[in-house]
């Protein structure tokens, strides 16, 4: 597939691109500015099949990307390279996601026969609260060998518990409290393993809760553990649909501009054009918005017109301090990608054909 970058010579919409960087342990690796360099002998995690089975891809990518992004507070991208699966083997993961017992003291799920409170007041028998544990590793090169210098993990928590034909939800406060206890327990377990010692360990809590099945969940807690001391503190991340009551209440300007965009596009072609959006919210502020435009264009000129209308409308988003990604599709095939980072002055437009 040939990629063409098309510049726009109107208004504030000039072509911009992220300049690649060549820093890190391997100076020959080209990466986007601000990203980690992945170790040159990278191998996939031994747990990849487990993650693929128990986490939908949109959840797996969200928890992984947020875990790496949040880790930058503690592991400088210029000082560390990235790997995964160095410590938590498949056998260890299997033990962690099982129930705590006399033979499995480090199991992160409640013991068999235990009761856990739900939001409705009905106790849940044998709740399974921990679905998965994801690990990324921060490596430093010493004497031509990579050495483990830090670990970040995400404990994936599930508040929705199926009891018979009913689904009972664990409250956000209860889930955070339980996850915090399991975070400290996991840190103690990791310290007991060979090769870990006193290196920094960053632990996050990720909730699978979402207002709709098509939305990812969000990070609800984090803690950096240095020299065997640390604590979990709350995070407030989640996704919303746009337009929705939640988007109108949180950011009425973005909500209104999106409705305007949707209305404008739906009159362009004889066939209906579907326009959908979702946004990540961090600390009650829109951080990232992803817009998907589903059309049935028949000619290249129609595609150009559709793209230009989108750009003319979203220029009103430029003053909003958030990342914006737009996918223009035709029968589920992506034809145009449009992106602007929060600090960029313009959009990047890529036609794929």
Q: Which domain holds residue 219?
A: 36-235
Q: What is the pLDDT of residue 21?
A: 42
Residue 27 lies in a domain: no
Contacts of 304 (CB under 8 A, 6+ apart): none
| 175: its two tokens | 């889930």
244 in the same domain as 196: no
85 in the same domain as 173: yes
C-alpha 109 chain-centroid distance: 23
222 in the same domain as 178: yes
297 in the same domain as 268: yes
169 in the same domain as 42: yes
Longest CA pairwise span in the chain (Å): 69
| Helix (H) or strand (E) segment spanning residue 297 | none
Q: Considering 200, 235, 270, which residue would you say is the last residue of a domain?
A: 235
- The answer to whether the CB of 161 falls within 8 A of the CB of 128 is yes
* Spatial distance between the Cα atoms of 68 and 82, rounded to a whole number of angstroms: 9
Residue 47 lies in a domain: yes
| 240: its two tokens | 């919303």
Residue 324 lies in a domain: yes
Q: What is the pLDDT of residue 16?
A: 36
Residue 25 lies in a domain: no
pLDDT 10s digit of each residue in the chain, 353 long?
333 333 333 333 333 334 444 445 555 566 677 899 999 888 889 999 999 998 888 889 999 999 999 999 999 999 999 999 999 999 999 999 999 999 999 999 999 999 999 998 899 999 999 999 999 999 998 888 899 999 999 999 999 998 888 889 999 999 999 999 999 999 999 999 998 999 999 999 999 965 556 788 999 999 999 977 889 999 999 999 999 999 999 999 899 989 999 998 988 888 888 999 999 999 999 999 999 999 999 999 999 999 999 988 888 776 678 999 999 999 879 999 999 988 888 889 999 87
197 in the same domain as 268: no
Residue 46 lies in a domain: yes
Domain count, the chain: 2
Residue 341 lies in a domain: yes
* Spatial distance between the Cα atoms of 161 and 175, rounded to a whole number of angstroms: 12
The domain spanning residue 320 has which CATH number?
3.30.300.190
Q: Is the peptide bond before 243 cis (omega within 30 degrees of 0)?
A: yes
Residue 344's SS3 state is: coil
Q: What is the pLDDT of residue 27?
A: 55
214 in the same domain as 289: no
228 in the same domain as 87: yes
How far is CA 242 from each of CA 265, 277, 330, rounded to the nearest angstrom?
16, 5, 21
Residue 28 lies in a domain: no
Q: What is the pTM of this model?
A: 0.87
194 in the same domain as 330: no
283 in the same domain as 216: no
Residue 270 lies in a domain: yes
Q: What are phi and psi of 346, to 5 degrees?
A: -155, 175
* Spatial distance between the Cα atoms of 215 and 274, rounded to a whole number of angstroms: 18
Q: What is the pLDDT of residue 344?
A: 83
């Amino acid at each position: 597939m040939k990629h063409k970058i098309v510049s726009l010579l109107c208004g504030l919409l000039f072509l911009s691109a992220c300049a690649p960087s060549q820093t890190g342990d391997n100076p020959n690796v080209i990466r986007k500015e601000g990203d980690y360099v992945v170790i040159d002998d990278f191998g996939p995690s031994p747990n990849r099949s487990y993650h693929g089975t128990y986490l939908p891809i949109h959840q797996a990518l969200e928890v992984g990307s947020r875990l790496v992004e949040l880790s930058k507070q503690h592991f400088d991208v210029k000082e560390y390279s990235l790997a995964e699966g160095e410590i938590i083997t498949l056998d260890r993961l299997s033990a962690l996601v099982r129930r705590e017992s006399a033979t499995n003291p480090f199991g992160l799920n409640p013991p068999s026969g235990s009761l856990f409170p739900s939001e409705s007041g009905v106790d849940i028998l044998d709740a399974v609260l921990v679905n998965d544990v994801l690990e990324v590793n921060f490596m430093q090169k010493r004497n031509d060998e990579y050495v483990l210098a830090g670990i970040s993990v995400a404990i994936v928590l599930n508040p929705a518990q199926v009891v018979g034909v009913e689904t009972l939800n664990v409250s956000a406060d209860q889930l955070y409290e339980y996850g915090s206890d399991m975070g400290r327990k996991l840190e103690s377990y990791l310290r007991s393993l060979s090769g870990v010692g006193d290196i920094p360990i960053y632990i996050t809590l990720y909730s699978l809760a979402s207002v709709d099945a098509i939305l990812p969940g969000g990070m609800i807690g984090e803690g950096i553990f240095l020299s065997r001391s640390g604590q979990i503190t709350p995070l407030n991340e989640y996704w919303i649909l746009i337009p929705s009551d939640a988007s109108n209440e949180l950011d009425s300007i973005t909500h209104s501009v999106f409705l305007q965009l949707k209305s404008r596009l739906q009159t362009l072609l004889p066939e209906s054009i579907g326009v959908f959006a979702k946004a990540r919210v961090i600390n009650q502020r829109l951080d990232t918005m992803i817009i998907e435009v589903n059309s049935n264009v028949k000619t290249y000129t129609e595609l150009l017109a559709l793209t230009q209308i989108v750009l003319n409308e979203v220029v009103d988003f430029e003053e909003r301090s958030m990342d914006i990604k737009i996918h223009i599709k035709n029968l589920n095939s992506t034809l145009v990608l449009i992106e602007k980072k929060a600090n960029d002055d313009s959009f990047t437009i890529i036609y794929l054909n």
